[in-house]
Amino acid sequence: MTRFAAPIAEQIWDMKYRLKEADGTPIDATVEDSWRRIARSLAEVEAEPKAWEDKFYGALEDFKFLPAGRITAGAGTARSVTLFNCFVMGTVPDSMGGIFDMLKEAALTMQQGGGIGYDFSTIRPKGAPVAGVAADASGPLSFMDVWDAMCRTIMSAGSRRGAMMATMRCDHPDIESFIAAKADSARLRMFNLSVLVTDDFMEAVKADGSWELKFGDVVYHTVEARDLWNKIMRATYDYAEPGVIFIDRINKANNLSYVETIAATNPCGEQPLPPYGACLLGSINLARLVDRPFEDGADLDEELLDDLVATAVRMMDNVVDASRFPLEEQRLEAQNKRRIGLGVTGLADALLMVGQRYGSEEAARQTEQWLKRVARAAYLASVDLAKEKGAFPLFEAEPYLSSGTMRAMDDDVRAAIGEHGIRNALLTSIAPTGTISLYAGNVSSGIEPVFAYSYTRKVLQKDGSRTEEEVVDYAVQMWREKFGDKELPDYFVNAQTLAPLDHVRMQAAAQKWVDSSISKTINCPEDISFEDFQSVYLEAYETGCKGCTTYRPNDVTGSVLSVSEADKTPSEAPALAQDGTAGAEVVYMSEPLDRPQSLEGATYKLKWPDSEHAIYLTINDVVVGGHRRPFEVFINSKNMEHYAWTLALTRMISAVFRRGGDVSFVVEELKAVFDPRGGAWVQGKYIPSILAAIGGVIEKHMVSIGFIEGEGMGLKSDPQADVVNLGSTPRGQACPSCGQYDMRMVEGCMTCGSCGHSKCG
């Protein structure tokens, strides 16, 4: 009897969380083995490991507590990876040497699998004088381009590239360039962008006042606050970025405001963090805790919730001691404050099970009640840990209890903290849970509404083909099992039908009892007016949210998948023939594909006459639309004279392959290169140059995988690379992992509905 509620859940476990040997042989035979591995690893720091191992296993069992993916995949593996999801890096110095020191730290952190956040407000604006070198500064955006390029080259541990967040203060002189950066679709693709909006700025917007843009004590420009606000709104209306972070509210509410100032967040925004701060995440699966779902008297088992939260807090506190850290500064920051981010997932499903409509005032009150229960249980559990193991090292009772969040906490909790201290400085956060929610049986993600009651997902098979399977929301599946084909009640709503202000109401209700922040996307209809769109952000500010991220489908961002309750399937992109008409197997991508975790390919040995060393060509393929196509080339030789040009050739050919389309013209271009020193006879055929020989090897590979029909049958020149377009339907971005046009914004991060790829994990 499988523990998995849906086939997709088992696939996610096998692909992302199951421990395997380097050759792919499973070590975790079952998901129970994975739970046992995690439980044993996190219990090792306890005085009585075996007792706590069983308790931890019970929390993990049946997907009740879901540690973040880094923990689920990495705990107990003895691999050199961090169990923390994301980091905010150190303050960027306003000097060339300091900037590139920070770049190195970022590379080391992403190498171990951590996403990173940076505040670029500390770099002087473009055109500012640089003392001693008689030059003008290039500005923070030029250095962000460097970070972006670095991120593209580093594959994070696990299955995705590193995600990055860049923030900039609303009074920085380059803020207008920052706001407009994503107008260029090819720029800063590895970054999420957010503007740090202050209370003073919001007051100036409401008063229609002026606003100074300054760096240090120097005022560079004075603008109208409302004009600047409109530029932020127009950019996010058109490009879904930048997001907005209400930074003064974050700092005033921070339990640690007496020892730190926050100026950045992790990539999805749910963890505002100080320099070298790290986010340690996990979620309580509310959908598994409802008694008598869809029946009279259905409610959440609050005693089970309290016990589960207490166990989860202990497990996450142990992660601080069990994890490795890319940098020593990160380890010290984590251990001095022991910050954790315990959140929830399955909220929308739980609300459905108790008969409440997501977005309603009733549902908002219920959400606030449940999350207050989570917060109380978490804080009291952390007090108990402080009694046993000691408070976090930087704890000071009076300033801690005077912080914005703690002033709202119940008196009994405040009294317990005052008497015994607390083990963890901050405890709650609502993180993106897209992948772990699928793993838990496709429960609704985080505090988001159900995205779609069911949809069709394309699953890549070992032979390169793709099959389709229905993926059904957990609560909907439970309804079907109880009531068969009986029509869903009218309180079943999804992200496609909710009004934007219903989203805001739910985010604001949750924020009251979340001491960090929330990763949430407010879906807006394509035809929402600009004025109504702006009102969403103003409502988020007025109702106490710490930030706001919206998504409005359009030609740039792409369409939100429209799915009926039953079985509508996202349509496929028609392939383009060489004349640009539909029908062939050639697909041009709107942007280059990123590299999947694993690829199939072949290595060829090329021995050039009169050369001491052979050249080895490895050509790897990706499957797009069920067909193999060349994706990347590696050229290796022991002859150091070859090093520079083979490296350059590798990069250029791979870049062309990743753009999509009929790239067979590369073969013909290489085969046409003549060496003025003369070619060579190879296997009875005259080859005009070593580059032509390489072209011949690539051609041979293309024929073997069926990309071209035979020798000499590739294109003779680079065709016009038209972007696939489905009539009048905006397509937006192709998935960088599977190539499907099924990207959607979920919890502040673009996520593929076909394969589950997410830039943010």
Which residue type is seen at 203? E
Nearest to 447 by CA among 377, 378, 512: 512
738 is catalytic: no
Catalytic residue among 266, 285, 494, 523: 266
Which residue type is seen at 233? M
Nearest to 62 by CA among 373, 284, 314: 284
Question: SS in 3 state form for 455-518?
Answer: EEEEEECCCCCEEEEEEECHHHHHHHHHHCCCCCCCCCCCCCCCCHHHHHHHHHHHHCCCCCCE
Q: List Cα–Cα distances, 455 to 89, 120, 222, 452, 526, in angstroms.
A: 38, 40, 50, 7, 21
In eight-state DSSP terms, residue 282 is E
230 is catalytic: no
Torsion sign across C-alpha atoms 262, 265, 271, 277? negative
Query: How many angstroms separate the CA atoms of 64 and 35, rounded?
Result: 11
> Burial, 208: exposed, middle or buried (Cβ in 10 Å; 0-12, 13-18, 19+)?
exposed
Whether 250 and 395 have beta carbons less than 8 Å apart is answered as no
Whether 487 and 502 have beta carbons less than 8 Å apart is answered as no
What is the rounded (10 degree) CA torsion for 587, 739, 753, 265?
A: -130
Catalytic residue among 170, 268, 524, 749: 268
523 is catalytic: no
User: How far out from the chain centre does Cα 114 lie?
Assistant: 11
Whether 673 and 692 have beta carbons less than 8 Å apart is answered as yes
Please tell me whether residue 116 adopts helix, strand or coil conformation.
strand
CA geometry: angle 89, 318, 107, nearest 5 deg: 25
Catalytic residue among 105, 260, 270, 333: 270
Query: How many angstroms separate the CA atoms of 47 and 43, rounded?
Result: 9
Query: How many angstroms separate the CA atoms of 40 and 167, rounded?
Result: 39
Query: How many angstroms separate the CA atoms of 557 and 743, rounded?
Result: 9
Structure tokens at 362: 């009733």
Structure tokens at 121: 């407000």
Query: How many angstroms separate the CA atoms of 360 and 376, rounded?
Result: 24
User: How far out from the chain centre does Cα 91 lie?
Assistant: 22
DSSP track, 190-246:
TEEEEEEE-HHHHHHHHHT-EEEEEETTEEEEEEEHHHHHHHHHHHHHHHS--EEEE
Q: List Cα–Cα distances, 237 to 142, 192, 241, 248, 508, in angstroms.
A: 24, 15, 8, 24, 21
Query: How many angstroms separate the CA atoms of 612 and 617, rounded?
Result: 17
Query: How many angstroms separate the CA atoms of 243 and 245, rounded?
Result: 7
Query: How many angstroms separate the CA atoms of 376 and 514, rounded?
Result: 11
In eight-state DSSP terms, residue 15 is I
Query: How many angstroms separate the CA atoms of 459 and 454, rounded?
Result: 15
Determine if the peptide bond prior to 242 is cis (ω within 30°).
Answer: yes
Whether 101 and 118 have beta carbons less than 8 Å apart is answered as no
Structure tokens at 176: 């207008």
Structure tokens at 249: 């509210």
Query: How many angstroms separate the CA atoms of 759 and 761, rounded?
Result: 6
Q: Any idea which residues carry the catalytic annotation?
A: 266, 268, 270
